[in-house]
Chains A and B, each alone.
Chain A
């Protein structure tokens, strides 16, 4: 599976939108972009995934560029409970899910 590049850490003010970028320039046509998060030593939590189109659910929005080489996870109104490590993973389903180092998001009051 293609590798991803994420910033090591980011800060976001409470109530503002958190925009987490991810580069996946070598993504293949059959690979999806997945986002998970891990809140302080809990098990990771699935957030959202997409192939080409932008996706939205109750937790977040996922914006994928037209060339699919990068994406952005958007938490529209970040709260303190969104402080976590966020993992961007490209995944085709043919190999197991492999986690990188992720982005540590700190939501600040």
Chain B
């Protein structure tokens, strides 16, 4: 098992550009989430999904879109990058959320200039 794989690991964008952060898991987990972590801060939830075709907003969803067409993949799209979106982005997945912990990816470090 590769676990939760995030690509790219690093990215620099110009203000106004769009991009997609990829997240894939090979554990057949139903639950997946995206978090962002600003320097020196805790994790904040952006969007989450409880299964293929089902997504919902977290604490800080503005400026981001998600979709969940397959169980394995949960991409995060930045529509028009802004410097305030400079952050480290973590994707996580879980088998059933309650009885098992979430497995996190290693993160994507995004800088918007």
A binds B: yes
Q: Is the CB of B101 within 8 A of A99?
A: no
Instruction: Kindly provide the distance from the CB of A22 to the nearest chain B CB, expressed in whole angstroms.
Output: 14
Q: Is the CB of B33 within 8 A of A45?
A: no
Set B44, B48, B96, B107: member contacting A43, Cβ < 8 A: B107
Chain A interface, >50% SS class? loop
Residues of B with C-beta under 8 A to A36: 101-102
Closest chain A residue to B98 by CB distance? A93
> CB-CB contacts of A27-45 with B at 8 A, as 1s and 0s?
0000010101000011111
Residues of B with C-beta under 8 A to A34: 101
Closest chain A residue to B106 by CB distance? A43
Set B56, B59, B98, B107: member contacting A41, Cβ < 8 A: B107
Q: Is the CB of A100 within 8 A of B42?
A: yes
Q: Is the CB of A43 within 8 A of B101?
A: no
Q: State the B residues within 8 Å of A (CB).
A: 4, 33, 35, 42-45, 48, 56, 58-59, 88, 90, 92, 96-98, 100-107
Nearest first, the 6 closest Cβ-Cβ pairs linking A and B are A46-B101, A43-B104, A93-B98, A99-B43, A96-B48, A93-B97
